[in-house]
Amino acid sequence: MTRVQAPLTLAVVGFGAIGEALARALLGDDRVRLAQVVVSPASLDAAQAACAALALDVRVASTLDLGPGQRPDLVVECAGHAAVLAHVLPALRAGIPCAMASVGALHDAELFAQLEAAAQEGGARLQLVSGAIGAIDALAAARFGGLDEVTYVGRKPPLSWTGTPAEQAFDLARLASPQVIFRGSAREAARQFPKNANVAATVSLAGLGLDRTQVELVADPGVTRNVHAVIARGAFGRLELQMENLPLAANPKTSALTVYSLVRAVRNAAVGIAI
């Protein structure tokens, strides 16, 4: 007899460039039911309109409903650092598995410890998605053999650094050559660039950690894509990766691959054989 499995019930925290594209990508997938969308109060109307445009029958609110009968099977975060404390933490405590994109939020050691404790208390796992970067699987495995060096360079068009400390230090609109806007640890990069250095945090957490991973961020008028480079050396050998990611039209700071990475996390939670 064929067993008919109920679809995975999904809550998405954040319905901006990533969240909307994720919902669109999941349309028509009968293994997944998007049941809840959570956004900041100022974005409620926009999110409601975006959900209506996709003909989604979904609860849109500024908090998750974790009550009986409403509990999602999976919470996916694509909202920003503040949303991790506000929504991921209580979901984990309530025993709901979560996948998050705002990995840079973990630069905050206290939040890191709180999330670990909440996951333990709830008996649920928090998955840090690979987002806009690749080779996280290789790096996270190589770590167990011992790593000697991990460096990450993030390069984006100058205007993708607006709203960051680089805006005060440089005339981004008039840059004529590549400008290093940050050099330091992954922890500091993630703290200072919450919308642009989540990848730096992800690479570091997979490898040498937030304090021992060297990061360089570059505003480069010569690129139109978000270019991410990783070099790692260790007992495994050497890894060199360069990604040239197309940005999302709705938010050029964000690479489209981030959306596909979340689609992967959702699909992997809904199927029997995951890759």
Ligand X SMILES: O=C([O-])CC(=O)C(=O)O
Residue of the chain from 86, 96, 153, 197 that contacts ligand NAI (CB under 6 A): 86
Active site residue 107: no
Q: Which stretch binds ligand NAI (CB under 6 A): 3-11, 68-76, 82-90, 149-157?
A: 82-90
Alpha-carbon gap, residue 93 to 118, rounded angstroms: 5
Residue of the chain from 197, 208, 262, 270 that contacts ligand X (CB under 6 A): 197
| Contact status: 214 vs ligand X (CB under 6 A) | no
Annotated binding residue 198: yes
Residue of the chain from 10, 12, 16, 72 that contacts ligand NAI (CB under 6 A): 16
SS3 track for 21-53: HHHHHHCCCCCEEEEEEECCHHHHHHHHHHHHH
**For ligand NAI, the closer CB: 38 or 89:** 38
Complete DSSP assignment for the chain: ----PPPEEEEEE--SHHHHHHHHHHTT-TTEEEEEEE--GGGHHHHHHHHHHTT---EEESS---STTT--SEEEE-S-HHHIIIIIHHHHHTT--EEES-GGGGGSHHHHHHHHHHHHHHT--EEE--TT---HHHHHHHGGG-EEEEEEEEEE-GGGGTTSTHHHHS-GGG--S-EEEEEEEHHHHHHH-TTT-HHHHHHHHHTT-TTT-EEEEEE-TT-SSEEEEEEEEETTEEEEEEEEEPEETTEEEEEHHHHHHHHHHHHHHHSSS--
* Contacts to ligand X from residues 221-240, by CB under 6 A: 226
* Contacts to ligand NAI from residues 34-73, by CB under 6 A: 38-40, 43, 47
| Contact status: 204 vs ligand X (CB under 6 A) | no
Q: Which stretch binds ligand NAI (CB under 6 A): 77-85, 111-119, 135-143, 180-188?
A: 77-85
Annotated binding residue 219: no
Among ligand X, ligand NAI, none, partner that 43 touches (CB below 5 to 8 angstroms by kind): ligand NAI
| Contact status: 218 vs ligand NAI (CB under 6 A) | no
Residue of the chain from 18, 88, 96, 269 that contacts ligand NAI (CB under 6 A): 18
| Contact status: 172 vs ligand X (CB under 6 A) | no
| Contact status: 245 vs ligand X (CB under 6 A) | yes
| Contact status: 213 vs ligand X (CB under 6 A) | no
Q: What is the binding site for ligand NAI (CB under 6 A)?
A: 13-19, 38-40, 43, 47, 78-83, 86-87, 101-103, 131-132, 195, 198-199, 202, 251, 254, 258
Residues that bind ligand X in the complex, under the rule CB under 6 A:
132, 195-199, 226, 245, 253-255, 258
Give the active site residues.
Answer: 228
